[in-house]
Amino acid sequence: MLDAFFVILVAGSISFLIGSIPFGYLIGRAFYRTDIRKSGSGNIGAMNALRTLGKGGAVAVLLLDAAKGVLPAFVALRLHEMQIGSSLLIWSHTDVLASIAAAFAVMGHCFSPWLGWKGGKGVATAFGAIFALSWPAGLVVIAGWVVGALIVTRFSSVGSMLANIVAPFALFFFTRSIAEAAFGAFLAIFIVYTHRENLERLRAGTENPISLFSKKSV
């Protein structure tokens, strides 16, 4: 029992640190000499990178933020055996460990210690984690974003919230894993929470629409 708790603690901590890497901030500083937090919405995610850095910067931020979700979940799913000291722990619940790792990666992105416990809204990292757990579920979630953000409205925030509300159902349908469905339920609640300011702007009619055809391209 203590060994299992230790594994969860270590996996959660490492996943949180991976998730906390603020790629949006780093790319803005290194390649654009811009603090992305002081432009647009002030968010370090891909959509604000699109508005602030242009398409090239946005794609880089999107892929790197998604990778922060993919890596911890992907590795955890394959940790069937772990050496702890002189003992070998056989871990049969890799879906549980992967779901915990994925959740901590998303939280790390949103509460980065490198940025004063602030960060992004967790969407790209969440999408990456979902793809690592189940790529068909990931496709369903992306479809949810497209419907919400590009077909029904022009707001990325709407697509992001809809996609993550769909997540627990998609994950359970394709994996039949209670742990992964619980991770999806966590995302449904957590991502809506991180978008609470967007909800206020949507109510006020001041939310920024998606600007896919921004003139910036580098």
Tokens of 30: 């290194």
Contact 77, 24 (CB under 8 A): no
Which pLDDT belongs to residue 164? Answer: 97
CA 183-167-125 angle, 5° bins? 70
The helix (H) or strand (E) run that includes residue 91 is: none
Average pLDDT on 103-110 reads 98
pLDDT band of residue 8 (cuts 50, 70, 90) is confident
Contact 155, 166 (CB under 8 A): no
Which pLDDT belongs to residue 1? Answer: 59
pLDDT at 7 over 60: yes
Surface-to-core class of residue 92, CB atoms within 10 Å of its CB (0-12 exposed, 13-18 middle, 19+ buried) = exposed
115-159 pLDDT, tens digit each: 999 999 999 999 999 999 999 999 999 999 999 999 999 999 999
Q: What percent of the chain has pLDDT over 90?
A: 80
Classify 203 as helix, strand or coil. Answer: helix
- Hey, what's the torsion of the CAs at 136, 141, 142, 143, to 10 degrees? 90
The helix (H) or strand (E) run that includes residue 89 is: strand 87-90
pLDDT at 89 over 80: no
Which pLDDT belongs to residue 4? Answer: 76
